């Protein structure tokens, strides 16, 4: 009972600290972890050890990976490469299929670029195409936002899924592969929601003057920095698959090195530096684009580290053994991480915080929940990602980016974004459960 009371107190403090007191999530998670340690009777040395080892071990796994992923997205956004990809996607799909074009473009862009930044990039183009095609602006905006959200929570190298995979020790290539499958299939229901339901909400289009674009990089270069790292990581996962017996091949050491996530994403960063018109201090200096990416990545890295501390505190307090005894024989499985992530998302707003916190809490419970096999670790990451979409409302920063840029009021935002994320999250979880049953 003491462990349960301590965990409830910690979660309550996390929610209140972020939502009501506006404390930075890093400090909230850190203080919650330390408080949990004292409430459960851990000694001072054990608490300090959990802080140091919890932070250090998770940073060693994914600190650089998160930064390199953010750096790729920042350069892609600021160089105009993201807009090049978006424009080409629209041309390929066609302006008549504007909903599908917006959804798929958002889906692709949100892998390297943060969802809110990608929405800002795409909004003007979405307005112009919706006006030209004479279709509901609310419907196309819903399609764009849900496409962005799907990969934002389920497909690395987006920081949230990377952090969750690192905390749960899931194989990153497997998370990417299954994340692409689940997130894309879950958008089928979202497409019907956007075209049949959201499109009935009337939102007037207020056109803006688009800024002149001086330089636009080539499409091939813009795609290269996204696709190459993903291919390398997935390729390493394929070579490492035991049943294929490919580790003895002469090329394996090369694949194993290049496909290691930190190296693959470093290659992606190098390829992204081909995008700017000229490589100068504006790009690589401390005050340039790479400096900006470090400032963007730092809070996410720290929050992830604090999540690692929380997980280590739970592990070292004996919480894992208690949960194993309590949950033995129960068939909760993947629904526990999904529901916990959904509760945290709904109460405090941030999908990334929900992903990291849920992964930290669930990590010591994996054997008890029957999720400690390699494949189930992947499914757990995706279940947490699905839960972290449910639901986006007034305490989510993306909700305000969504409503402010489109001119929607809160009621319209709830009708479109809040209900849409509920459709996305529940659809994704249904798919994850079915896949886990078929593959298990």
Whose tokens are 């506006």? That residue is 22
Whether the model clears a pTM of 0.85, i.e. scores above it, the answer is yes
Give the pLDDT confidence score for residue 208 in this predicted structure. 59
pLDDT 10s per residue in the chain (440 long)?
Answer: 788 889 889 989 998 998 889 899 999 999 999 999 999 999 999 999 999 999 998 888 889 999 999 999 999 988 989 888 888 888 888 767 899 999 999 999 999 888 888 998 888 888 888 888 889 999 999 999 999 999 999 999 888 999 999 999 999 999 999 999 999 999 999 999 999 999 999 999 886 555 555 578 999 999 999 999 999 999 998 898 877 788 889 999 999 999 999 999 999 999 999 999 888 899 999 989 999 999 999 999 999 899 989 988 988 888 766 665 665 555 678 999 999 999 999 988 889 999 999 999 899 888 888 898 999 999 999 999 999 999 999 888 899 999 988 999 989 999 999 999 999 999 999 999 999 999 86
pLDDT at 93: 84
Check: CB of residue 100 under 8 Å from CB of residue 385.
Answer: no
Structure tokens at 172: 């990153």
Q: Give the 3-state DSSP-derived string for 41-80, with helices as H, strands as E and coil as C.
A: CCCHHHHHHHHHHHHHHHHHHHHHHHHHHHHHHHHHHHCC
Q: What is the pLDDT of residue 342?
A: 93
CB 171 within 8 A of CB 378: yes
pLDDT in the model for residue 356: 93
Q: What is the pLDDT of residue 368?
A: 81
Compute the residue count for the chain. 440
What is the Cα–Cα distance from 310 to 354, expressed in whole angstroms?
A: 13
């Amino acid at each position: 009972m003491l462990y349960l009371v301590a965990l409830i107190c910690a979660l309550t403090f996390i929610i209140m600290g972020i939502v009501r007191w506006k404390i930075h999530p890093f400090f909230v998670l850190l203080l919650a972890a330390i408080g949990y340690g004292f409430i459960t009777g851990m000694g001072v040395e054990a608490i300090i050890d959990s802080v140091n080892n919890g932070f250090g071990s998770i940073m060693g796994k994914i600190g650089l990976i998160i930064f390199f992923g953010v750096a790729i997205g920042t350069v892609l956004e600021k160089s105009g490469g993201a807009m090049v990809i978006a424009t080409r996607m629209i041309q390929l799909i066609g302006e008549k299929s504007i909903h599908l074009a917006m959804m798929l473009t958002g889906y692709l862009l949100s892998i390297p670029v943060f969802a809110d930044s990608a929405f800002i990039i795409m909004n003007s183009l979405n307005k112009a195409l919706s006006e030209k095609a004479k279709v509901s602006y609310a419907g196309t905006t819903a399609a764009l936002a849900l496409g962005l959200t799907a990969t934002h929570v389920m497909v690395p190298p987006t920081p949230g899924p990377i952090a969750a995979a690192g905390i749960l020790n899931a194989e990153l290539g497997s998370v990417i592969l299954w994340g692409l499958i689940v997130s894309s299939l879950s958008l089928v229901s979202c497409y019907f929601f956007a075209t049949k339901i959201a499109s009935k909400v009337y939102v007037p289009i207020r056109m803006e003057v688009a800024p002149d674009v001086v330089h636009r990089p080539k499409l091939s270069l813009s795609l290269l920095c996204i696709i190459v790292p993903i291919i390398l990581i997935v390729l390493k996962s394929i070579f490492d698959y035991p049943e294929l017996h490919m580790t003895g091949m002469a090329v394996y050491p090369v694949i194993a090195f290049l496909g290691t996530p930190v190296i693959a994403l470093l290659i992606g960063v190098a390829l992204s530096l081909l995008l700017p018109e000229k490589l100068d201090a504006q790009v690589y200096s401390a005050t340039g684009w790479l400096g900006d990416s470090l400032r963007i990545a730092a809070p996410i890295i720290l929050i992830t580290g604090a999540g690692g501390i929380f997980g280590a505190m739970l592990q070292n307090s004996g919480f894992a053994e208690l949960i194993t005894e309590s949950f033995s024989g129960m068939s909760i499985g993947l629904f526990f991480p999904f529901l916990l992530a959904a509760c945290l998302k709904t109460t405090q707003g941030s999908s990334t915080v929900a992903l990291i916190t849920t992964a930290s809490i669930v990590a010591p419970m994996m054997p008890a929940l029957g999720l400690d096999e390699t494949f189930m670790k992947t499914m757990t990451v995706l279940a947490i990602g699905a839960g972290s979409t449910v639901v986006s409302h007034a305490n989510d920063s993306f909700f305000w980016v969504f409503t402010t840029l489109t001119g929607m009021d809160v009621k319209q935002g709830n009708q479109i974004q809040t209900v849409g994320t509920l459709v996305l999250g529940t659809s994704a979880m249904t798919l994850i459960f079915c896949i886990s049953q078929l593959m298990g």
